[in-house]
């Protein structure tokens, strides 16, 4: 992902955290299809990652600055699910990866929610991403 959009760096970090959890997507990209909304999409998960019982048509991890993180069932009815109550719009990428791994394996049953993960190492500044997105929106 080239650093052309204000959320590129954030999505790159999320992609690296997904890989660290063993669920590196085969494809991911950022875009602004209408010039008003920033989007990111992660899909094509490694074999055995997505539980077909919960996701018979496969699933994409998606983000936009208005709705935050969500899982979108591919094919079928394209049902959209919020990722997790712990995964806000600008949440630490490690939390996004932990929640995604759980949801891909376990579906949307809250019983299997990993809850907040302990974050060691450098602090993630979600506010910086939010400010960059807000500045981009104001410039449009």
User: Is residue 129 included in any domain, yes or no?
Assistant: yes
Instruction: Write the pLDDT tens digit of every residue in 53-84.
Output: 999 988 999 999 999 999 999 876 778 999 98
Quick one: pLDDT at residue 113? 67
User: Is residue 123 included in any domain, yes or no?
Assistant: yes
Give the pLDDT mean for 17-43: 95
Instruction: Write the pLDDT tens digit of every residue in 80-100.
Output: 999 988 889 999 999 999 999
What residues does 6 pair with on adjacent strands?
Answer: none
Q: How many domains does the chain fold into?
A: 1
What is the DSSP secondary structure assignment for residue 110, as one 8-state letter?
Answer: G
Give the pLDDT mean for 22-51: 95
Going by their DSSP bridges, the two strands 80-82 and 68-73 should be labelled as antiparallel
**pTM of the full structure:** 0.89
User: Is residue 35 included in any domain, yes or no?
Assistant: yes
Going by their DSSP bridges, the two strands 39-43 and 59-64 should be labelled as antiparallel
Contact 42, 60 (CB under 8 A): yes
Query: Measuring CA to CA, how many Å separate 103 from each of 3, 122, 126?
Result: 29, 26, 22
User: Is residue 3 included in any domain, yes or no?
Assistant: no
User: Is residue 1 included in any domain, yes or no?
Assistant: no
> Nearest Cα to 112, choosing from 102, 121, 120?
102
Gap between the Cα atoms of 24 and 49, Å rounded: 10
User: Is residue 98 included in any domain, yes or no?
Assistant: yes
Q: Which two tokens stand for residue 37?
A: 């909304």
Band (pLDDT 50/70/90 cuts) for residue 30 is very high
User: Is residue 23 included in any domain, yes or no?
Assistant: yes
User: Is residue 114 included in any domain, yes or no?
Assistant: yes
Q: Whole domain around residue 81: which residue ranges?
A: 8-139
């Amino acid at each position: 992902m080239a650093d052309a959009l204000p959320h590129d760096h954030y999505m790159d970090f999320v992609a690296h955290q997904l890989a660290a959890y063993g669920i590196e997507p085969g494809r991911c990209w950022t875009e602004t299809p209408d010039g008003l909304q920033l989007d990111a999409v992660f899909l094509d998960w490694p074999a055995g990652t997505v539980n077909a019982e919960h996701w018979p048509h496969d699933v994409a991890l998606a983000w936009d600055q208005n709705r935050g993180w969500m899982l979108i069932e591919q094919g079928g009815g394209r049902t959209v699910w919020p990722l997790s109550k712990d995964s806000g719009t600008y949440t630490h990428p490690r939390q996004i990866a932990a929640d995604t791994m759980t949801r891909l394996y376990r579906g949307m049953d809250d019983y299997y929610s990993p809850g907040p993960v302990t974050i060691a190492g450098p602090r993630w500044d979600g506010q910086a991403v939010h400010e960059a997105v807000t500045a981009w929106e104001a410039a449009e």
